[in-house]
Structure 1
Amino acid sequence: MVKVVLAFFLGLATIVMGQNNVTGNQSTSVPPDSYISDYDIVKLTAGPKQHWFGYYDKLQLDPTGRYVLVAQVDTIHRSPTENDGLVIGMIDLHDNNKWIPLGESHAWGWQQGCMLQWIPNSKEEIIWNDLEDGKFVSHILNVFTKEKRTLPKAVYTLSNDGSFALGTEFNRIQKLRPGYGYAGVPDPFENNRHPDEIGLYKMDLKTGRSELLISIDEMAGQEHQGESLSGYWHWFNHILISPDDQRFIFLHRWRKEKENGTNKATSGFITRMITADLDGGNRYILDPSGYTSHFIWKNPNEVCMWTKPLGKDSGFYSFTDRTDSIVPVGAGIMTANGHNTYVNGTSGEWILNDTYPQGEDRLQELYLYHVPTKKKVSLGKFHEPLKYKSEVRCDLHPRNSRDGNFVFFDSTHGGDGRQLYMVDISQIIK
């Protein structure tokens, strides 16, 4: 049955959604001023506590599709500090959306959470970042036996075989891009524009042994379109390993200056996308434009990203690694920056994406794009209240189930803060 819930300015009624045990309620209602959709939008969590997952390129569901990872925090509307604890848990979709707490974190941000995710190739283990004894660490937990072990460094992304992680220093990110790093550990190199001692590291998930692959100073020493970068403040961000575990992407970013008398960088940042082998070698500047934004690997050789290539308009483009091949994706249809992924099991034919709030009504669109037919299917438009902006905004960050049949997303449209939602797309992609 098609359900349509229109925004309050259209004056239509509330629809009551599925069941939820996060706060003990057997049903939750969605306000009439919340969203527009032709599909059943199922609400999985409810207030007063906030629930969300975070970024769009992590495994949120276990291999069976039964357990959905989610983070829970008290209602705050500011930058988190090291004193703000985050509860790690999962929802059992086969048991009335039962909430199962699993652990805690004191190293998290609103956009990417604490890097909570299922470890690839594991049916039982998850990983997340935390703050312990003045250091950022990561925990691996067996969600059934509750056996836990701690690794000496935080993780950013995991290999597809689940054997290792790549990471960078989250205190450096927090200093230069607040909201994407963690509070609680000062950056010992905060007065160094491009330190040689830190950068991008690789860590074995069994032993915890790590090695520095690429230092910040190395990349700062490489000119950008003929310009020296020595006077800028540099950091790394957004790391993602290729599907065949042979190469990885990272974003090298820099800012122009700092605020007078402080260590806070204030200028807009510039970005270039770098790919490299897993030992840090064979580096290639895949997007030298300075505008790289969200991206995803389509396959081991192609990357789809939002950017403004040299001499071209802003948009989504498919880049072929270690070549100058650039092909537009969704031209004239996917016209706004969003968090793009390929729907699992569709051989790259379907793209899942979202938008930032648009128009006076601040509607975030969730949609699918069929690459062969250039067809767009809107899954819904969701109102984000004005107070959710800047660092505390709630992007939809859509994630796909491993079988491709369901989409999970975070949203504030329900009237009780950021919560987790689900929509069935199986009939669309088939």
Structure 2
Amino acid sequence: MKPARPVLRVGNDAGHHFFGYYDKTNWGAQDRLLLGHRVPARDFVIRADSVAEIGYFNMAGDGAFHVIGATTAWNWQMGSQLQWLDAASSRRLIYNVRAKGGLYPGFGAVIHDLDTGEPHELDAPIYVAAPNGRYALTVDYERLYITHKTIGYVGQDGAKSDLPLCPPDDGIHRVDLETGEVRQLISYAELKALDHRPSMDRAIHWVSHIEINPSSDRVLFLHRWTERVEDETCFLHRLITMDPNGNDVRILECSDHPLPQLAEDFDPSQVGTFDYEKSEYQISHPLWRDDRHIIVWGPHDGAIHYHLYEDVRPARVTIVGDGILTENGHMTYSPINKRWLLTDTYPDPVTNERALILFDVERNVRHDVGIFYADPHLTKENRCDLHPRWSQDGQRVCIDSMHEHERQMYVIDVSAILNNKGKTE
């Protein structure tokens, strides 16, 4: 590693720690508490009985990990979808568990109150909770385990083998976090019928990267389909938004394209671990900048860039970091100042190093915060992406990393870059 800023490991107890995805912050209680998972080893094949402990670090404490629960519903990329339900006060959090379940038998979720210590169980897992804390959205994680294994959960009896390609009775569901009531918002069959493409006919369909805007009144998601789940370069993508009742559906982008990889003699084992992330057709990592704008890595008008979409019909699209941000990453805008975009890269195929980046949108200046080594022997399923996450005050960044040969969380103070008014150092 070649850090431009001090990189401080979080905690000092035994075990391996990580949070998961970049799309939600693990910082809470005025940046005093830091959510995470603890596991016994840095990488292993996750089984239905593999346990991850749920807890937090007190950043003003002694470095101990405070355990509040455990789960066997998790993966290396997104963890258990652990997240604050009220990040400002940070007294309630939610995460997925294995349970009897109602919507998707075998899976549910737990809302944990830090004040009372009492758990409130839900009969459905969640994908993302609305910022207003009133509802969450979810999909079938066993379906994801087949279509996009890195973000799915294996079933108690192993991987399903009889999934329907495009069912009318499954899709995105809304979960009321107070009553537990569940209702379907949009089905896979409806998505297939929406501006139908011939490439959808023999494909299996799924939804991922569901995100809710700050005001909780718009939802974005990726609709994906493929005839070859083993090869991610065969995935086709659409960026779609709707309201939280499943109405006013808008297609902002579609990357449908010919797929020579579907030839019978194509060998998907020859596709590199990160080749998919470097595809010129991929739409990935969308996230709301604010209530009406979405940052995403993907193609538009024949070229792939970081693009900023205005959620209107037709979408208005601008390039972010043209010629500077040239690789796919996990990007979020500062919660304090939208001038600053935080992102990372995937490992370089030669050096196995990845960059952590702060980008000054106003000045078009890139600041490399650090370069981190990634073990090339890790697979898609157990890799450790940086997944950078802003602190609530917008002065620090938390990452997951294995550059010290353990899976741990690290904190980096970036205030000197931010307070230097964007000058190149």
Shift of 1:46: 5.6
Q: Deviations over 1:78-124 (max 9, x none)?
A: 33111101101100110132211110011001100000111135431
1:399 corresponds to which of 379, 389, 402: 389
Is residue 352 from structure 1 mapped to residue 342 from structure 2 by the alignment? Answer: yes
Shift of 1:206: 1.0
Question: What TM-score results when the alignment is normalised by the length of structure 1?
Answer: 0.86
1:413 corresponds to which of 386, 390, 403: 403
Q: Distance in 2 between matches of 1:407 and 1:144?
A: 27
Shift of 1:47: 7.6
The more displaced of 90-99 and 45-54 is: 45-54
Asked if structure 2 preserves the Cα contact closer than 8 Å seen for 1:366 and 1:381, the reply is yes
The more displaced of 329-338 and 78-87 is: 78-87
Q: Distance in 2 between matches of 1:233 and 1:125?
A: 36
Q: Distance in 1 between matches of 2:410 and 2:43?
A: 21
Q: Distance in 1 between matches of 2:119 and 2:309?
A: 40
Shift of 1:185: 4.6
Q: Distance in 2 between matches of 1:386 and 1:191?
A: 32
1:334 corresponds to which of 325, 331, 341: 325
Q: Distance in 1 between matches of 2:224 and 2:30?
A: 38
The more displaced of 121-130 and 419-428 is: 121-130
Shift of 1:267: 7.2
Aligned residue identity for 2:418: I
Aligned residue identity for 1:113: G
Aligned residue identity for 2:332: T
Shift of 1:299: 1.4
Asked if structure 2 preserves the Cα contact closer than 8 Å seen for 1:116 and 1:129, the reply is yes
Is residue 182 from structure 1 mapped to residue 153 from structure 2 by the alignment? Answer: yes
Asked if structure 1 preserves the Cα contact closer than 8 Å seen for 2:240 and 2:252, the reply is yes
Q: Distance in 1 between matches of 2:11 and 2:47?
A: 24
Shift of 1:359: 4.4
Compared CA separation, residues 407 and 266, structure 1 to 2 (3 A)? closer
Match of 2:200 in 1: 229
Q: Distance in 1 between matches of 2:327 and 2:64?
A: 36
Q: Distance in 1 between matches of 2:21 and 2:233?
A: 25
Question: What TM-score results when the alignment is normalised by the length of structure 2?
Answer: 0.87
Aligned residue identity for 1:131: R
Q: CA RMSD in A?
A: 1.9
Is residue 252 from structure 1 mapped to residue 223 from structure 2 by the alignment? Answer: yes
Is residue 325 from structure 1 mapped to residue 316 from structure 2 by the alignment? Answer: yes
Q: Distance in 1 between matches of 2:13 and 2:379?
A: 20
Match of 1:424 in 2: 413
Aligned residue identity for 1:330: G
Aligned residue identity for 1:401: S
Q: Distance in 2 between matches of 1:312 and 1:265?
A: 23
Is residue 214 from structure 1 mapped to residue 186 from structure 2 by the alignment? Answer: yes
Corresponding residue SS for 2:65: strand
Match of 2:113 in 1: 142
Corresponding residue SS for 2:327: coil
Compared CA separation, residues 143 and 315, structure 1 to 2 (3 A)? same
1:377 corresponds to which of 367, 377, 401: 367
Compared CA separation, residues 188 and 122, structure 1 to 2 (3 A)? farther
Asked if structure 2 preserves the Cα contact closer than 8 Å seen for 1:351 and 1:369, the reply is yes
2:166 corresponds to which of 191, 194, 197: 194
Compared CA separation, residues 78 and 99, structure 1 to 2 (3 A)? closer
Asked if structure 2 preserves the Cα contact closer than 8 Å seen for 1:138 and 1:153, the reply is yes
Aligned residue identity for 2:106: K
Is residue 126 from structure 1 mapped to residue 93 from structure 2 by the alignment? Answer: yes
1:368 corresponds to which of 350, 358, 367: 358
Structure 1: give runs of 5+ residues left out of the alignment: 1-34, 259-263
Is residue 64 from structure 1 mapped to residue 64 from structure 2 by the alignment? Answer: no
1:297 corresponds to which of 288, 293, 306: 288
Asked if structure 2 preserves the Cα contact closer than 8 Å seen for 1:193 and 1:234, the reply is yes
Shift of 1:373: 0.3
Aligned residue identity for 1:385: D
Aligned residue identity for 2:191: M
Alignment size in residue pairs: 387
Match of 1:102 in 2: 68
Corresponding residue SS for 1:328: strand
Asked if structure 1 preserves the Cα contact closer than 8 Å seen for 2:209 and 2:286, the reply is no
Aligned residue identity for 1:153: A
Q: Distance in 2 between matches of 1:394 and 1:188?
A: 26
Q: Deviations over 1:148-178 (max 9, x none)?
A: 1101101111111111101111111111111
The more displaced of 107-116 and 358-367 is: 358-367
Match of 2:259 in 1: none
Match of 2:262 in 1: none
Corresponding residue SS for 2:146: helix
Match of 2:3 in 1: 37
Is residue 74 from structure 1 mapped to residue 46 from structure 2 by the alignment? Answer: no
Compared CA separation, residues 47 and 100, structure 1 to 2 (3 A)? closer
Shift of 1:184: 2.1
Q: Deviations over 1:168-227 (max 9, x none)?
A: 111111111112111125677834110111110111111111110001111122345x42
Identity between Structure 1 and Structure 2 (%): 30
Match of 2:299 in 1: 308
Match of 1:158 in 2: 129
Shift of 1:285: 0.5
Aligned residue identity for 2:164: N
Asked if structure 2 preserves the Cα contact closer than 8 Å seen for 1:201 and 1:210, the reply is yes
Aligned residue identity for 1:137: G
